[in-house]
Structure formats: C-alpha cells, structure tokens
Amino acid sequence: MERADLIVIGSGQGGIPLAADFAQAGRNVVLFERDVLGGSCINYGCTPSKAFLAAAHAAGRARQAENLGIHAQIRVDFPAVMQRVRSIRDSFNQSVRKRLEDAGVKIVFAEASFTGERIVTGGEVTVLAPIIVINTGTSSLIPNIPGLAKTPYLTNRSFFELKQLPPRALVIGGGYIGLELGQGLARLGSQTQIIVRGDRVLDREESEVGETLVKALERDAIEVHFNTKVEQVAYTDGSFTLTLDRQDKLQAEALLVATGRKPNTQTLNASATGVELDERGYIKIDDHFHTTCDGVYAIGDVAGQPAFTHVSWEDYRRLKAILSGEERKRSDRVLGYAVYTEPQVGRVGMSLEQAQQKGINARCVTLQMSQIARAIEWGHDLGFYRMVIDNDTDKILGATLVGYEAAEIVHVFMAIIEAGITWYLLEQSVHIHPTYGEALPSLARLLIDNNTL
C-alpha cells in the first residue's frame, strides 16, 4: 500500500487545480480517474456544447436576419462543425494532462473505491492519505422507459460523437441541456421536437423565462410537447419511434435523453470510510466541504452543489483556503449561472418568489427587451430584464435576464450583490448608449417611478 499526502478522486474542474497546487508545493498527490481527464466540462459539458452552439447560433442568426432585410442561403457542413467541436475538446483535454504531469501528480487511470478508512484502491494501486477529496461529479439520469435501454439514444456524453446531422431529432427533457442542444440541432437544420413531462421548460425558473424561450424555440420551428409522457421507445431501420401517453407516435433519426443528473457515487463504496450519502446518493457535506469522515472532503455536484464549472472551481479555491487554515465557507459567494439558448438566460441570486418565501420584504421591477433601443435596432427584442430588491435595505437580492448575451450582462448584478451595494448605485450610473447594459440603470429607475411590474 502506498502513502500520499493527498488523494483526489475524479478530475473535474475543482479536483484538477487542487491536485496540481498540492503537487507543486512538494506534496505527494495521487489522482484517480476512471475515464478521461477534465471531467464533464471539458469532455461533454461546457467546452463541446458551447463550441457546438457557436456554429448553431451563427446559422440561426443568419436565417433570422431576414427581419433586418438580409436574405441568406445557409449551408451547414455538419461533419466539419462536429470535427471542430471535438478538436477543441481534445485540445483542452490534453492541456489538463500536461498540467497534472508537469506538476508531479501521479495519475491512476482506474475506477477508485474506498477499501478502508481513508484508503482508496483503483486497479492495482492502493493508497492511504490523511486528506482525500472526492470530485466525481454527476452523469445522465436515464428514465425507465420500456424499450429505451435497447436503443442507441444520445445523452450529452455521446451527443458530440455525431458525424451526420439527423434529419429529425427528438429531445426528452425541458432542462437547459435539452433546450441548448435541441435548439442547436434545429438551427443546424434538423427538424426538432422537445418532449416535456410538465407544463413548463426550465421549471425551476420563473414562468416568464420558460414562456419566452418557448417563443424563441417556435421561431426555430421547434415543436414543444407539454404534459407529455413517453410510454415506449422502439428503434428499427435507423429510426426511433416514441409512443406517447395519449397514444400519439413521434418518429426521428436521433433521440436525445436529457432528463436530469445523478451523482457518481455508486461504485465509491463510501461507507467503507464512513462517508454518508443522502437519499438521492449525493455526498453529505457541511459548510466547509467536510464529509462525515474526518479528512475526507467532497466538492462539485457530487456533493449536491449546483452543477456548474465555476461552482466547482470556486469550491477548489475555498477548500484550498480551508486546508491552509483560513476561514472560508462554501456559502460565502454570490451564485450566478446561465443558459446558452438564444435568447440566453442570465441568473443571479433570488427571484421575487424565493425572497418572499424567506420572509423578505421584497419587490421587483421588469423591463422588456422590446423597450431597449439596442435590442430594437439589432432585432433582439425577445426577453426581459428583472431585478429583485429588499425594500428594507435597498440591496439587490437577485436578477433574471433573458435576452441577447444575457450571460455577460448578468455579471454587473453579480458584482453589485457581492459588494453589498444598493440599487441606487445602478440608478445613478451612466451607461453607454446604445448598449444592452444601458438598460440596467433604466431598470433601476423604475423603482423611482414606483413601477413594480
């Protein structure tokens, strides 16, 4: 049995820098990875999906430019699109390996599991360490639909291996993965339909967010089936047939399943080291990332954290500080995130409903994109900006932005909320005309007008 100063299980975006930093500081570090280095972000998440959407949204904008008087003929070279996606992914993956090796991290390519208290075994290697960090992430949650398992359905993991554009595509799931990739396929020329069990897409967001995105999807000729359950899946002669609960049938050459995530803890044997899981299989941690076993920590979405790369990376920064004796917590941050449909969704902090549920005396103001000069001029008039404030302190509690490049604009709110500044700063600011950012002071000025839309 080997001994190390640090064991990292999983090479996600939090585990990689932590392992590298410890190794560069002269510590003996062993990293176990059962698959490819870089975790979901690099291999089948952020990196390939955004490279894919770069092409898809370019095609979509060109088609919709007819509203500006521009009539273009679009020819999509789908194999070239996907080859570019994979080349970027592979380049990033190789960079991760070089970083770890240059730092002196010992990489063990094997599935790791606990075989004792703070003892990890993977392949032929068994290691004991006083500090262990679990960063194994999540994977696709596949619904138990009769016939599905026997078909070559896609998940976000296998999606980027597509070589040819499917003439027709079906997507099960109305979350951000299903919407992003579904809209992407449609914009590249695939006839796409999305199946949603409930009555909303992005059902964790405010209802207006989903309503706006459905309008955008319809502009791309995407049909969305609400309150629909898939009863049966069959695959013959290169075509999927989905039988719905109302006995309707849908057919397509590709099927993407995007119905949620599950934690990668099934093979960890966490109980061998005294690490407890919750009822869904996520690792239980406290506000300092500590599990129920002394010396064992968990970061990222395997611990029930929001499934975003920037969250995992910030987990790394906080855990590194904690291990160095600093007083940091996983809750000492302002969380923002985005959905990369078009229009984009940018979110930070609380919605009005969330604030009121916490007993906060809150209100919100809303400005439609159709009232913003730049949006009208550029033809991006679908969406809205919304800000939530605390009436008692005048501090900004959250913001929901739906519009062109909303993922960039929302950072203004993130900085203001982090600084604890009131909405008066935004109201007094002079932003450049004509820009999308110019609308943020206008949004704040609605509070002066007592216009609580």
Other Cβ atoms less than 10 A from the Cβ of 204: the count is: 11
Is 161 among the annotated ligand-binding positions? no
Condensed to tens digits (0 to 9), the pLDDT of residues 155-172 reads 999 999 999 999 999 999
Query: Hey, CA dihedral for 274, 277, 278, 282, is it positive or negative?
Result: positive
Which run of H or of E encompasses 218?
Answer: helix 207-219
Cis peptide before 434 (omega within 30 of 0): yes
Q: How many CB atoms lie within 10 A of CB 282?
A: 18
Q: Mark whether 135 and 7 lie in a shared domain.
A: yes
Burial class (CB in 10 A: 0-12, 13-18, 19+), 326: exposed
Residues 6+ apart with CB under 8 A from 302: 10, 134, 135, 136, 137, 138, 263, 264, 265, 282, 283
Please give the pLDDT value at position 406: 98
The model carries a pTM of 0.95
| Separation between Cα atoms, residue 342 and residue 386, nearest integer Å | 18
In a domain, 21, yes or no: yes
Residues 95 and 36 occupy one common structural domain: yes
- Indicate the residue among 259, 277, 306 that finishes a domain: 259
Confidence of residue 246 (pLDDT cuts 50, 70, 90): confident
Angstrom distance (rounded) from CA 415 to CA 401: 15
**Within a domain: residue 335?**
no
Tokens 């290691």, located at residue:
127
Give the three-state DSSP class for 26: coil
Q: Same domain, yes or no, for 158 and 247?
A: yes
Residue pLDDT, tens place only, 380-437: 999 999 999 999 999 999 999 999 999 999 999 999 999 999 999 999 999 999 999 9
Q: Tell me the average pLDDT across 89-102.
A: 95
CB under 8 Å to 406, separation ≥6 — which residues?
Answer: 338, 343, 344, 345, 346, 383
**Residue 336 forms part of a structural domain:** no
Model confidence over 368-377: pLDDT tens digits? 999 999 999 9
Q: pLDDT of 342-351, one tens digit each?
A: 999 999 999 9
Cα distances (Å, whole numbers) of residue 193 to 185, 255, 308, 342, 355? 10, 10, 26, 17, 35
- Please check whether residues 310 and 267 belong to one and the same domain: yes
Q: Is it the case that residue 252 has pLDDT exceeding 60?
A: yes
Torsion-angle region of 248 (φ positive above 0: left; ψ -120 to 50: alpha; else: beta): beta
260 is in an annotated binding site: yes
**Residue 173 is labelled as binding a ligand:** yes
408 is in an annotated binding site: no
Which tokens hold the place of 326?
Answer: 């600093």
Q: Is 26 annotated as a binding residue?
A: no
pLDDT, tens digit (0-9, with 9 covering 90-100), for 48-58:
999 999 999 99
Look at strands 223-225 and 191-195 and give their pairing. parallel
- Same domain assignment for residues 135 and 267: yes
Is the same domain home to 75 and 200? no
Specify the number of domains making up the chain: 3
Q: Residues 380, 411, 431, 433: which is the catalytic one?
A: 433
Element (H, E) at 441: helix 439-448
Indicate the residue among 259, 274, 295 that finishes a domain. 259
Active site residue 288: no
**pLDDT tens-digit readout, 275-295:** 999 999 999 999 999 999 999
In a domain, 404, yes or no: yes
Q: Whats the size of the chain, residue-wise?
A: 453
- Looking at the structure, tell me whether residues 125 and 250 fall in a common domain: no
Same domain, 219 and 268: no
Contact predicate 410/338, CB 8 Å: yes
How much is the average pLDDT of 195-200? 96
Kindly report, residue by residue over 104-119, the tens digit of the pLDDT: 999 999 999 999 999 9
In a domain, 168, yes or no: yes
> What pLDDT digit, counting tens, does each position of 143-158 carry?
999 999 999 999 999 9
Q: How remote is the C-alpha of 74 from its chain's centroid?
A: 29
How many whole angstroms separate alpha carbon 212 and alpha carbon 190?
Answer: 22
Q: What is the CATH number of the domain that holds 410?
A: 3.30.390.30
The tokens for 37 are 């280095």
User: Known binder of ligand: residue 174?
Assistant: yes
The Cα-based distances of 403 to 186, 407, 415 in angstroms read 19, 9, 19
Beta strands 230-236; 223-225: pairing state: unpaired
Q: Is the pLDDT of residue 451 over 50?
A: no
Domain range for 435: 343-448
SS3 of residue 114 by DSSP:
strand
Ligand-binding site membership of 153 (annotated): no
Query: Picking from 1-10, 165-174, 324-333, 348-357, which range would have the lowest pLDDT averaged per residue?
Result: 324-333
* Residues 6+ positions from 419 with CB-CB distance below 8 Å: none
Euclidean distance between CA atoms 12 and 431, whole angstroms: 38
- Name the 3-class secondary structure at 235: strand
The verdict on 131 and 152 lying in the same domain is no
Q: What is the torsion angle, in degrees rounded to the nearest 10, for the CA atoms of residue 72, residue 75, residue 81 and residue 82?
A: 140
Q: Which two tokens stand for residue 8?
A: 């990292």
The reply to whether 286 sits in an annotated binding site is no
Residue 153: which CATH number?
Answer: 3.50.50.60
> Does residue 450 surpass a pLDDT of 70?
no
Cα distances (angstroms) measured from residue 49 to each of 30, 40, 85, 96: 30, 11, 8, 18
Separation CA 31–CA 101 (nearest Å): 11
Q: How far apart are CA 163 and CA 143, in angstroms?
A: 26
**Torsions phi, psi for 311 (to 5 deg):** -70, -45
179 is in an annotated binding site: yes
Assess whether 276 and 310 both reside in one domain. yes
Q: Given a cut of 90, is residue 449 above it in pLDDT?
A: no
- 164 within domain boundaries: yes
- Residue 23 maps to a domain: yes
The confidence score (pLDDT) of residue 247 equals 79
Identify whether 244 is part of a domain. yes
In the prediction, which pLDDT does 307 show? Answer: 87
Backbone dihedral angles phi then psi of residue 372, each to the nearest 5 degrees: -105, 125
Residue 452 pLDDT greater than 60, yes or no: no
Are 6 and 135 part of one and the same domain? yes
**Same structural domain, 159 and 241:** yes
Q: Is residue 40 pLDDT above 60, yes or no?
A: yes
